[in-house]
Amino acid sequence: MAARSSSSSPRPYQLIVFGASGFTGRFVVEEVARSSAEVPGGKLTWAIAGRSRDKLEKVLQETADQLGKPELQSEVEIIVADVSEPDSLAAMCKLGQVILTCVGPYRFYGEPVVKACVENGAHCVDISGEPQFLESMQLNYDSAAADGGVYIVGSCGFDSIPADMGVLYTRDQFKGTLTAVESFLTASTGPEGGCIHDGTWQSAVYGMADSEKLKSLRKQLNPKPLPVIGAKIKRRSALFYSNEIQQYAVPFMGSDPSVVKRTQRFLSEEQQTPVQYGAYAGVGGISSVIKLLFAAFIFSLFVKFSFGRNLLIKFPEFFSFGYFSKKGPTRKQMEGSSFCFAFFGEGYTEGQDPSQGKPNAKIRTLVRGPEAGYVATPIAMVQAALTILSEPDALPKKGGVYTPGAVFAKTSLIERLDKHGIHFSVL
Ligand SMILES: NC(=O)c1ccc[n+]([C@@H]2O[C@H](COP(=O)([O-])OP(=O)(O)OC[C@H]3O[C@@H](n4cnc5c(N)ncnc54)[C@H](OP(=O)(O)O)[C@@H]3O)[C@@H](O)[C@H]2O)c1
């Protein structure tokens, strides 16, 4: 039986933002404060949590100043909890209906939070973009989460809500049976440029170093291959000129392919046609390609050895050509940045059999939004959490460890995101 969220729950907080003093956590706190009227009853009860009370008090004060909401300092509680102290996590989880955890890299700090949520009946959303963490949580906690009636939903940030919900949106807009989608991600910055905070760089460095373990994990998680319906999607090379987006493109290295595939597997088990998926990212013109190849070569070399990894961790700006930094982007840089996913789908019109012949129809859709890491990610994470709170009847009947697409397919998440500046459209 799923533990359904309800306003009569004895838990004092509907949401708790854990890791609220981190670079991303602070923006998640702001986003919760902005969206706090969007629950049934119109008044969210929430708290912020982390390992340092001083830092959390400062976060509340800065958020109150930034939003001109001095009442936050008296209305929002502070909870001290540390990943290395299980009792503190259990105590935090007993107080909240949904925990929004921003404590990463998740490979190091994610599992104790998932475990505490499952054991103490709290739902959990995270913004991990680490397939190994996400898939191992599914392997290890899915049945306990189902027994406890809690929803553990990973990758609720820019990784991988736009891609996962974008594929579902494309499927739902297609008149017939959609069988394959390719997505092309492009990101742009304003005159001030932009960058990504070090937390994500660390997740990428340690994730790459350990990527071999994913193969055996996947064998355990999915002993049977996902059925291929319709013409097989074409494989692209490691670098190619994309006519779709009129620039060079490479396979997208983040969690999107893993997350979308898990969603499609879930839907296939629900007797829906799984969509094949290929994810690519635009890199621009030839000078960007040369820079990228050089950075990728150094990264793949250094990531293999602990000495090299230490250097990568110590000097993110140097090794990423300034794309990642310990300071993270400024608000001005964030204001000038945006992302766009272009989805190119193909399938079979109504009455056509996908097991016979080539696809006979195409569709193009877009998902566009503001700066990915610290504007779109908090919006997506907070809307995911609010959806769990507000639309319990639209979630799967059983609790479990889910992808965003699997858990939110029947909810109004896309409309919610649209209202907050992450737009889905058909071209
Ligand atoms: N999906 C996406 O698109 C997306 C976007 C942005 C970020 N992220 C992910 O979010 C994660 C955080 O990134 P970030 O840049 O915000 O990193 P960060 O600034 O280093 O934040 C890490 C947070 O974890 C907390 N923490 C570390 N050890 C802890 C412990 N033992 N107990 C409790 N809290 C602990 C830190 O607390 P203190 O403040 O006390 O040090 C800090 O609040 C990363 O995994 C990143 O990849 C994902």
Task: Judge if the beta carbon of residue 83 lies within 6 A of ligand 1.
Answer: yes
Q: For 144-202, what is each residue's pLDDT tens digit?
A: 999 999 999 999 999 999 999 999 999 999 999 999 999 999 999 998 888 888 888 88
Q: For 234-278, what is each residue's pLDDT tens digit?
A: 989 999 999 999 999 999 989 999 999 999 999 999 999 999 999
Which of 187, 185, 193 has its CA nearest to residue 329? 193
Task: Judge if the beta carbon of residue 52 lies within 6 A of ligand 1.
Answer: yes
> 320-350 burial string, b = 16+ CB within 10 Å, else e?
beebbeeebbeeebbebbbbbbbbbbbbbee
Which of 120, 155, 188, 114 has its CA nearest to residue 408? 155
Phi, psi of 319 (to 5 degrees): -80, -15
Domain boundaries, the chain: 13-158+374-426, 161-369
Torsion angle, CA of 113/119/122/125, rounded to 10 degrees?
40
Task: Judge if the beta carbon of residue 104 lies within 6 A of ligand 1.
Answer: yes
Asked whether the whole model's pTM tops 0.85, one would answer: yes
Spatial neighbors of 93 by CB under 8 A, at least 6 apart, are 99, 116, 117, 119, 120, 121, 122
Distances (CA, A) of 73 to 102, 198, 269: 21, 29, 47
- How many Cβ atoms are within 10 Å of 234's Cβ, its own excluded? 9
Task: Judge if the beta carbon of residue 255 lies within 6 A of ligand 1.
Answer: no
Do domains 13-158+374-426 and 161-369 share one topology? The answer is no
Stated length of the chain: 427
- CA nearest ligand 1 atom 35, residue: 103
Q: Tell me the CA–centroid distance for residue 27 and ligand 1, in Å.
A: 12
Higher per-residue pLDDT: 28 or 314: 28
Whole-angstrom Cα distance, residue 387 to residue 39? 9
Q: In what side-by-side order are the strands of the sheet with 123-126?
A: 77-80, 46-50, 13-18, 96-101, 123-126, 151-153, 400-402
Q: Tell me the CA–centroid distance for residue 190 and ligand 1, in Å.
A: 26
Which of 417, 331, 328 has its CA nearest to residue 376? 417
Q: Tell me the CA–centroid distance for residue 338 and ligand 1, in Å.
A: 22
In CATH, which of 3.30.360, 1.25.40, 3.40.1350, 1.20.120 is domain 161-369? Answer: 3.30.360
**Ligand 1, from 200, 202, 324, 375: best to mutate by most atoms within 8 Å of Cβ?**
200
- Which CATH superfamily includes the segment(s) 13-158+374-426? NAD(P)-binding Rossmann-like Domain (3.40.50.720)
Residue 193: in which H helix or E strand, if any? none
Average pLDDT over residues 119-144: 97
Q: Which atom of ligand 1 is found nearest the CA of 104?
A: 45
Task: Judge if the beta carbon of residue 157 lies within 6 A of ligand 1.
Answer: yes
Task: Name, of 15-19, 253-257, 355-359, the range with top average pLDDT.
Answer: 15-19
Pull the structure tokens for residue 394.
């639209």
